Structure 1
């Protein structure tokens, strides 16, 4: 049946129908703890695709689940039937500033819409922490809220009308409907009215007494006198009644000014008491709470968090906004006044500076990210009771009840959330691969949800029911209201195909079914069978994650919790550049991790082996990761996807060999030396179309990719010819490929800069860094290179002599990647002594030892190489350049250039690499300033993509020294 269904879908829709095993694995999970393997995925291109897909599903009686960003925490975006990916339906259809509304397709990301509205001083205040990577359709389906709901309301308050595809494939325009009108909407409204109107007293009495609610169907909002608002029925319905494809939303003016107060408390309960009392006396824009679990992680990792509240248990973030600074300051004065006698208040800090407010807000926005960093053996912070809301007067009682319940179970937990709404996000740490963990999960859910019900609260304020909470909806509302939900579900979805088992279910074990945490995960390849070393963290990884030890390979793969931040499109984070370029699930870190995790969990080893040798699997692990490493810092869980891909590639290459093209870069010294020796010939050939076509066919090097000219003399020769002054201090210089074979003159400039600052340069015997070999699966070659370079550099490092590099990728290799191949006292000593040239000069500056720069009168933009950012010295580059007199600089942040080291040279990757860098290229084209970058590979790629000449930041420094 499935083959026939899939064929019919392919004949019915414009978009792609994905039915291969790997594609199905990618869509089997979302940001929840659950996974379900679908039959297929339809990537819808327009409304008609959705209509036709639902009609096919209706014909075959197959479940259909709409999916946006897949960022939901309760399992709403997964299913066992057809998944409809709506993210290609992402157009802004209308923007009416006079009447105050915007109309969009359901797949538009909230962050993209925010950026557009901000141009006009407008916004939709609903701001979940996933705004940058969740869709408008998903927010409607979930009745999303966020930090500003306390003042501005939830998604249900901003929906004007919706276009909805029903279970039979028909489409309705859902808005306010007059019961006397004709048409399908009016007939539907009259039927709905006949069900609800006699029960309105029951509904009013039985619904939670809270400011926001995403549990059940919002039938309390549907009837207003003789009018039925059909749109309100679908808001929060999680795709169980119909699929929202278009929406018109109310927009309002953004407040012009805001202030932020940070209040530190000695106890979370005292903070809750303060919230209860303060909310009666002042109207805040936000009132957020973070407990010590989150604060401790933030202090240890996040430089934005500079106030050092190390002895405090809880912090409140209180934002006040208005249309004048005097208005905001007046409210802040009142806040400070009423806080003077607050029990347990230890410190208060206020700010009106927009940059500082935004910086501090990032700490709160990343609370989930900090929570997900907690590791306790197989235990993970689990979302299933993470969204309770109670009347704000009951907030202290909720805090007390949560604390005592967790203590009774002996569980560690985190607590943060929208305290001003009485809404707390809490996650216990549980091992769901154990029977005991499942038992505790079930019992804890009943305990907490009963507590919430007794406080007249809701089991979900903004995250919805999904697989995690649907079995408890009856408990919350009681039989009479729940029976209304069942009637409405049957009325609109008689075949029960619309995202079944969400909202309405008879399954009393739904909570603990379909969990992604397997007892049977394969550890084949762990320990001595690993291709790479998985052990003690590098200093870079330790700074980022806060952990001394890496996870095992299988645990690193499972660390991804599926939030979808790697699908962010607003360039607030660089991760994931491949997704930004292609915008397909396969291009996201999450999609690739899902496949690898599924393979590790599969019991059928024949299927696993078949997958591991397939062309599709080769493309998955090679084509969709450019080893930028931004996932390590931008992913909330700090999943080292780059290392996961390197391990997967090494395992693949062991069986199948390296794909064509990669072998050349794994042994770059051999070929580059030869090219330099015969540079007159090699430079002629790389510009020959005929030769490049042949090279592409024979060696797998894309004929379109611009190859830089080889130098007739390598850096080694120029260095030994150059006479350095006699100096007491010394550094060892690691040149790497670009300086050795392409631009040795740049290497001499660096030597002269170091000489000028009092350092003699030693040049140990060396290969290129070997990074392509390490990252692309040539492990034997990588070990050879790493062993040689480590042995050559160790005598210098062991004496405390700094090892100075120029290429950001070379310093990353020496500091982090070498330890993935050779982890001993020599490689660790070398790693500890590596400094990029910018870092080295910055450190001289910080010790007042740097020779002063001469003026450089220029306006410039600076693009940071991804590996510069990962290593954490991007700020040092900025500080160093700002110390050059007369130089005026701005940071250009439009993401990754897409070069990926050797990636863009490989046949089949070139077009992707250029697509990844497109927005950056456009920004460079449009800029009037000269553009500089910290990395040689970025320079070559951006020049090719933009048609403009770029400079290197080290060139600027050389100019500032008149070198």
Structure 2
């Protein structure tokens, strides 16, 4: 029997595969180093560099791609969002990415409560369509905003609500599948008569059905006693579904097969009708084991979900919004989140009854019933972000999946958790526990050390002992994420030789050539092979300008912060900024994860071979807006904006830079010259010479050039009479280049507000700059010199303990976060970061007794990306509330302009498309008289250029409401 190629492919093989795929009309075929780097890993510990990646657009493309690979004997790995934690979404052959194009909802029948979808459909997209009929798809993994139905079917995903609505397998009705040998068939339940008829028909379909039926009939006892013992027994193949009492359901038998048996062409799934009301009861316990012990008795109540997490997970959180939600939890060391459904009256009574039951359990510390939908959303976010949060422990050390997904019957959960905790202690390992306590499924990231041979050996020994522990408790190595390379080798410890042989026969019936995802589930790859981090690979010696303290100064470690959870692939903002360009292109290369993966491969020097000079890395970073959203929205704190600045610094060192790096990177300096003759410069930039100037400056032809103010703010301020000392003392107003030269009215409004609040307004000596434009264009040497000059100019103010108030969010963020990095170890840079506040922070904090004027208007507000990443919008919201402003914070993400990005040639379409996702339509749709608030110069510029509205800075709104000066 021929087996698929499992050796490393040579360049000749790769060239042949790529040529055949392109001739076969498979859709988009990519085999460049950048693409192969992006798809070399999923959300697991494993790494396999593919030969090529195929993006099929429709059904025939998939069929053609499989046929081409079969002719060459090349293995195929099916991939959705690449969020698999077990390594089954990476392979050394051809990767089929269904998520980008093959992602339609083919039918949705509200009356029948069913939907038929292509495998690349994102769960949230299905949920949105189903919601129009009052329905939803029951399984809901924490990755619901980006995981695909095909991936969920491959792993038999479950999610938080499986207590009520089951696993993916329980909700799949039919699958249309394609075998490696090219047979297309639709499978689901079958009666004995249908089985006999199909077998009699002959052909490949008849052979398959007949062989699978014989396999089941020959192993009835083994399937009945060894499989399907409890809901989260997901490891191996779900062959219990072939039993007569389960109506020989081939569709459900294929769910959880991890793409090893067939390629999914479409799926018909069952939808459910949710209850009219829900509430969340948060139960506190002395520790996670006490919470686990309480699970069986709590399950006597009708629950929609019962999720658990311990203090070790919440201690990792630093994001202000999530931290605020954590601080409202009942005092405890571990919590259970119990969700109840029904009518409003029913959930209220159920919450009281559940709390009463919890109070009688050992280790219970308190409970709270949460009804506010926004607070519920924030609390669930803690749990949803668990897979990312748990990858960095409170001391900053790395933690990894590997024993991430085991499950036991709920009655065994407390005993298993105690045994697992003891096992961690025996190996001197740590990990934060969270998961689906209601179904006995635990998730934990463990601080394995893959950088040494000893650490890798200890990893193998630990997970072997953990497999024996979970088996002793009647559990499953996997409870929802599949076996993949992480656990397949360990399956004999769980099942024994008889069932393993049945698994192998099942695989061989479907895929006798072993062409589909070889090495998964049966004939397994070693659990410690193909590791993404390995002592056998030596990273390139890359010296950085920025310190990367959180990663020990190791740029490779910084880039491998990305563990692949893929939150950056969410296409709806949901209160986040990350990742604006991905939301436009939906291309992996434009996601935070895709960029981090290519940067990591650059540090390894294998796929990306030319280090800092890499054109592949340069190109993958091209559409990064440097918005800083990922630094706070990524659960692991991947900061591509910083990585981009570091890379561009080295990439263009001693080389000619793009024209935009000179025209916009040096804008603060050029603006000083323009300020001497603003009318002339404005006349030129709007004349027939403007297209030439834009071309020479690397500026998009479609963009209008901002007009310089006839008088800068500094010129106005230094000519005005000084009002002298004030009751609250002096405050230093940071004069940013953008407002100083283009919108000085914002700074003048800031002066009026600060003086009304009782401050004496000072400005720095000379003309200072935060260096932001040089930072974003990677001119770190210049940025550092400017930063030194800035801190020197502000030393007297800092020594006096004076607040530094910024009105431009990007510059304020640079003072707070970038300058301390550029001037690592400089105490004045740290002092400046601590002293810097925005206007709302000062007025709500230091001047909290000041009575702001009543504006009495309605507004919509756009939060600047850098403000979102540093201080958030809470102070602004409170100030607006005190002013009587009826404000709506737009859930819009990035405006799309993002400093120099939206002005650069080649970025205009993406820039505008990002703004059109939410911000620009919301501004156009706002009722007349509604104020569009936007503190960022970029945001206001994008609004002005793409709508007929003018945006207002918060300082201007306050100043307009102030009473006239006497």
Query: Same fold by TM (over 0.5)?
Result: yes
Q: Distance in 2 between matches of 1:407 and 1:670?
A: 58
Q: Which sits farther off after the overlay, 826-835 or 801-810? A: 826-835
What is the CA-CA distance between 1:692 and the residue it aligns to? 3.1
**2:777, 2:142 → 1: CA distance?**
35
What residue number does 1:761 align with? 761
| Alpha carbons 2:227, 2:239 under 8 Å: kept | no
- Partner Cα distance (1:603, 1:80) in 2: 14
Mapped contact 2:577–2:894 kept (Cα < 8 A): yes
Task: Report the CA distance shift for 1:945/1:201 in structure 2 as closer, same or farther (over 3 A).
Answer: farther
Residues 222 and 229, structure 1, Cα contact 8 Å, conserved in 2: yes
Task: Please list every run of 5 or more consecutive structure 2 residues that lacks an aligned counterpart in the other structure.
Answer: 1-12
* Structure 2 partner of 1:542: none
For 1:509-658, list aligned pairs within 5 A.
509-522=526-539, 524-526=541-543, 530-535=544-549, 551-572=553-574, 573-602=576-605, 608-609=609-610, 612-621=612-621, 623-658=622-657
**Alignment match, 1:743:** 743
1:770 aligned residue: 771
The residue aligned with 2:853 is 853
Contact 2:228 2:240 in 1 (8 A): no
**Structure 1 residues 445-470: Cα deviation after superposition (integer angstroms, max 9, x where no partner):** 22111222232211101000111111
Compute the RMSD of aligned alpha carbons: 2.1
Q: Secondary structure at the match of 1:381?
A: coil
Specify the SS of the correspondent of 2:281: strand
**Cα offsets for 1:896-922 (capped at 9, x unmatched):** 111121111111122221222221223
Residue 131 (structure 2) pairs with residue 118 (structure 1) = yes
Cα distance in 2 for partners of 1:758, 1:587 equals 47
Q: 1:834 aligns with which of 836, 843, 864?
A: 836
Shift of 1:239: 0.7
Structure 1 residue 98: Cα displacement: 0.7
What is residue 731 of structure 2 aligned with on the other side? 731
- TM-aligned CA deviation for residue 506 of structure 1: 4.8
The Cα of 1:700 is off from its aligned counterpart by 1.0
Of the three residues 350, 355, 358, the one matched with 1:331 is: 350
Equivalent pairs, count: 934
Change (3 A) 1:376 1:329: closer
Deviating runs (4+, > 6 A) in structure 1? none
CA distance in 2, matches of 1:841, 1:550: 37
Query: Where does residue 918 of structure 1 map in the other structure?
Result: 916
Distance 1:10 1:396, change over 3 A: same
Deviations 1:747-797 (Å, cap 9, x if unpaired)? 212111111112121121223322010121112221222122211112112
Q: 1 CA distance for matches of 2:818 and 2:836?
A: 13
TM alignment of 1:683-832, pairs within 5 A: 683-688=682-687, 690-728=688-726, 729-764=729-764, 765-823=766-824, 824-832=826-834
Structure 2 distance, partners of 1:911, 1:760, is 45
Q: 1:923 to 1:176 in 2, by over 3 A?
A: farther
1:334-413 alignment runs, 5 A limit: 334-374=353-393, 380-413=398-431
Separation in 2 of the partners of 1:362 and 1:670?
Answer: 44
C-alpha deviation, 1:73, in angstroms = 0.2
User: How far is 1:167 from its partner?
Assistant: 0.5
- Residue 246 (structure 1) aligned with residue 266 (structure 2): yes
- Alpha-carbon distance in 1 for matches of 2:363, 2:553: 39
- SS at 1:427's partner residue? strand
CA contact (8 A) 1:299 1:308 kept: no
Does the C-alpha gap of structure 1 residues 407 and 225 become closer, same or farther in structure 2, counting only changes over 3 Å? Answer: closer
What is aligned with 1:259? 279
Aligned partner of 2:177 in structure 1 is 164
Equivalent in 450, 454, 466 of residue 432 of structure 1: 450
- From the superposition, tell whether residues 137 and 767 of structure 1 become closer, same or farther in structure 2 (CA, over 3 Å): same
Aligned with residue 297 of structure 2, among 267, 272, 277: 277
| Separation (CA, whole Å) in 2 of partners of 1:871 and 1:533 | 19
Output one character per residue of 1:219-246: Cα deviation in whole Å (capped at 9) or x when no partner.
1113445943221122111111111132
Superposed displacement of residue 38, structure 1: 0.4
Alignment match, 2:324: 303
Q: Is the partner of 1:304 in helix, strand or coil? A: helix
The structure-2 alpha-carbon separation of the partners of 1:489 and 1:520, relative to structure 1 and needing over 3 Å to count, comes to: closer
- TM score, norm. by length of structure 2: 0.93
Change (3 A) 1:331 1:20: same
Please state whether the residue corresponding to 2:922 is helix, strand or coil: helix
Deviations 1:324-373 (A, max 9, x none): 12211222222223233211112122223333322222222222233122
| Deviation, structure 1 residue 863 | 1.0
Equivalent-residue separation in structure 1 for 2:831 and 2:684 (angstroms) = 42
- Checking the alignment, whether the CA contact within 8 Å between 1:863 and 1:933 is kept in structure 2 is yes
SS at match of 1:162: strand
User: What is aligned with 1:541?
Assistant: none
Secondary structure of the 2:326 match is coil
1:149 aligns with 2:158: no
In the alignment, the residues of structure 2 paired with residue 297 and residue 834 of structure 1 have an alpha-carbon distance, to the nearest angstrom, of 25
Equivalent residues of 1:881, 1:957 under 8 A apart: no
The answer on whether the counterparts of 2:319 and 2:632 sit within 8 Å (CA) in structure 1 is no
For 2:872 and 2:793, the matched residues in 1 are separated by: 25
Q: 1:774 and 1:82 mapped to 2: Cα distance?
A: 39
Q: Name the SS for the 2:379 alignment partner.
A: helix
2:147 matched to 1:134? yes
Partner of 1:540: none
- Whether contact under 8 Å (1:16, 1:42) holds in the other structure is yes
Is 1:421 the equivalent of 2:461? no
Check 1:213–1:570 CA distance in 2 against 1; reply closer, same or farther (3 A cut).
Answer: farther
Residues 208, 248 of structure 1: CA spacing in aligned structure 2 closer, same or farther, 3 A cutoff?
closer
Higher deviation after alignment, 612-621 or 794-803: 612-621
SS in 1 for 2:145: helix
CA distance in 2: counterparts of 1:560 and 1:226, whole angstroms: 41
The answer to whether the Cα contact below 8 Å between 1:64 and 1:84 also exists between their aligned partners in 2 is: yes
Q: Encode CA deviations 1:192-215: one digit per residue, 9 max, x unaligned.
A: 111112212211111252112321
Structure 2 partner of 1:211: 231
Which residue number corresponds to residue 60 of structure 2?
48
Verify the 8 A CA contact 1:774 1:821 in the aligned structure 2: no
- DSSP-derived class of the 2:74 partner: coil
Q: Distance in 2 between matches of 1:334 and 1:745?
A: 60
Which deviations, in whole Å up to 9, do the C-alpha atoms of 1:92-147 show, x marking residues without a partner? 22111111011222111112222332333211121111111211110011100011
The answer to whether the 8 Å contact 2:699/2:905 transfers is: yes
| Contact 1:210–1:458 (Cα < 8 Å) also in 2 | no
> Deviation string for 1:647-691 (max 9, x for gaps)?
111111215342221112222133223333332332233223x42
What SS does structure 2 have at the residue aligned with 1:252? coil
